[in-house]
Structure 1
Amino acid sequence: MSIPELGSGPVVAGVDGSPAALRAVRWAADAAARHRVPLYLVHAAGYPDLYGGESIPPPAAFREDLRRQRWEFLHTARATAAETAPGLDVHTLFETDPPIPALIHASRSARMAVLGSSGHGGLYGLLVGSTTLALVSHAHCPVVSVRGDGPPLPASDDQRPVVVGIDGSPLSERAIGHAFDEACFRGVELVAVHTWSDADTEVFSEARMAFDWEPMRDAEERRLAERLAGWREHYPDVTVRRVLVKDRPRHELLEWSRRAQLVVVGSRGRGGFRGMLLGSTSQALIHNAECPVMIARPRQERG
């Protein structure tokens, strides 16, 4: 198996001044320090040239106050990053474009894009509404959703595992790579979760045809081991625990999120993870996961 190339650029974090965004900044700063790459803090507000429904621009004083407030967001985020990872190379970017195109553009050269699970100001509803769906669908790098609750972040002595959802699709393969990479840099165990259901005829038929009608669980266990083999050679220091469950991925991954420091999945899937991050499983993880979630993106859509 050839090992897909993973991103090596900076970590990009969206900033809007909310507590959720600052939590994401802390996570992003810690990730950038672990990977020894710069951190770029991006505030993309969609600078208003006109009053809503009006044809005249707002007063200059209003625009200046708004600009000052948004620079304060960035200064606060920079101080938070410096406190989290002293000595980290941190850059701040103020964009007047709307958040979706600005963040998609920033993702072209990024190792990952990190966003809070909720927000206000320029990045309205990050990872709740249209901004989330646009980034999950069009970002050129993995997207990390850092939820606004759970234990304080980051923790240098955090020994909770990294969890990856596996279904055998190409994007699942990329998710495995990113999960191994994160587990390696964090020095923790990797938990590889594969689920199946008899109701999923595609996986059932493929497994039975490929493995000569051996019991379903044995066939799926062999498929999982084969998916992990090449990555285990590439990351020999990472301890891997295989979890094979006859269940739907939504329930199993949410359960693991309670005791993981990161869950990694592909932006789309097949078989047991059909519709991943565009259907019920994605909504469940984004809204209900109890740890950050990394969404792997396809390499062919990178810039």
Structure 2
Amino acid sequence: MNGPVVVGVDGSPSALEAVDAAAQEAQLRDAELRVVHAFLWPGLHAPPGSSPLGPPTGALYETVERIVVEALERARSRAAGLHVSHAVIAGEAVAALQAQSRTAQLIVVGHRGSGGFAELLLGSTAVQLSAHSDCPVMIARGRPAPTGPVLVAVDGSPQGQPAIAFAFLEAALRGTELVALHAWSTRSDHGEHALGRRVDMADPGGDVDHLRQQEERELTEALANHRKQHPGVTVRPRLVRGRTRPVLIDASADAQLMVVGARGHGGFAGLLLGSVSQATLHHAHCPVTVVRANP
């Protein structure tokens, strides 16, 4: 694992929670933690050659300094000995984080904020960051269960494999078990999209037991190679018949981290574009990490 763990900060309580999560991740990975604050001038242009923050006694300078210093102190208090750096960027927040993601191994942001990161989960910027980041994106939210498992949504698609790999790594780093959840349904189950692929085309009059066995095999096959690479990780496969949204949200209540793929087929095909993904990001009981395939 190379590159820093990057956390976006804006002075909000949610951003400070993100700093906590990012500090933990950096410590687990023995990586640098980089605190990033991005800001936009309110329709003004700095004179050529001047600092984008204005004079050292200016209000903007003082505000940015306060935000960054608070985040740095928070990070160092959470992880002794952690190497912490920072960057202040004049520009749009998501663009700044996307640029940082080219060399980072993980981006961490809060679920709410103010200023540069205020819209991360409130509009198109959330889609942009998770869809275009070159590394996984963690949204710090909820109350993670300290001794709970890492929860990964398994969809059986090739595009979902990076998310599974990331989840195995997280479970190994955290020294906890991995719950691999695969939900499925039939046409009679409200035509619901299952985790990763649509199974509502199944004939409701057919052999449901046979379909369940097929889904179980798919779950087993999706985990096989990762089990070999991480023999020390205890894996608990969970095959759940039910609607995707409540299944994910309910399962997150006992987890310390949930991992999902950014693209798949069926329910996760447009993870950050549809109602299921939006509900997960807004209502999960623990942090959520989105992992893109082939970033």
Q: TM-score, normalised by structure 1?
A: 0.85
Structure 1 residue 41 corresponds to structure 2 residue 41:
no
Which of 252, 259, 278 pairs up with 1:283? Answer: 278
Summarize the alignment of residues 193-212 of structure 1 with structure 2, pairs less than 5 Å apart: 193-199=181-187, 203-204=198-199
CA contact (8 A) 1:204 1:216 kept: no
Q: Is the 8 A contact 1:207 1:219 kept in 2?
A: no
Matches within 5 A, 1:114-263: 114-147=108-141, 149-150=142-143, 158-199=146-187, 203-204=198-199, 215-263=210-258
Per mean C-alpha deviation after superposition, the further-off stretch among 62-71 and 290-299 is 62-71
SS in 2 for 1:215: helix
Name the CA shift for 1:8/1:248 in 2 (closer, same or farther; >3 Å): farther
Note if 1:82 corresponds to 2:76. Answer: yes
Instruction: Quote the offset at 1:297 in angstroms.
Output: 1.3
Q: Which residue of 1 aligns with 2:7?
A: 13
The Cα of 1:150 is off from its aligned counterpart by 2.4
2:107 & 2:132 partners in 1: Cα distance?
Answer: 12
Change (3 A) 1:17 1:65: same
Match of 2:264 in 1: 269
Q: Deviations over 1:22-61 (max 9, x none)?
A: 000011001100011101110011233529xxxxxxxx67
Q: Which runs of 5+ in 1 are unaligned?
A: 1-6, 52-59
Indicate conservation of the 8 Å contact 2:267/2:276, yes or no: no
What is aligned with 1:68? 62
Say if 1:248 and 1:272, in contact at 8 Å, map to a contact too. Answer: no
- Aligned with 1:113 (options 107, 123, 127): 107
In structure 2, the gaps of 5 or more residues are 46-53, 188-192
Determine the structure 1 residue equivalent to 2:51.
none
What is the rounded CA distance, in whole Å, between the counterparts of 2:155 and 2:202 in structure 1? Answer: 12
Q: Using the TM superposition, give the Cα deviation of residue 272 of structure 1 relative to its aligned residue in structure 2, in angstroms.
A: 4.4
1:250 Cα offset (Å): 1.4
Instruction: Using structure 2 for the length normalisation, give the TM-score.
Output: 0.87
Task: Give the Å deviation of 1:207.
Answer: 9.4
- Letter matched to residue 25 of structure 2: A
Q: Secondary structure at the match of 1:276?
A: coil
| Corresponding residue for residue 54 of structure 1 | none
Percent identity among equivalent residues? 44
Write the deviation string for residues 193-229 of structure 1: whole angstroms up to 9, x where unpaired: 0011223696549999xxx997000011011101101
Q: Structure 1, residues 69-114: CA drift from partner, whole Å, max 9, x if none?
A: 1121011000000000010010110000111211100011111100
How far apart are residue 183 of structure 1 and its match? 0.4
Partner letter of residue 135 of structure 1?
Answer: L
Count of aligned residue pairs for this structure pair = 278
- Where do 4+ consecutive residues of structure 1 move more than 4 Å? 60-63, 200-208
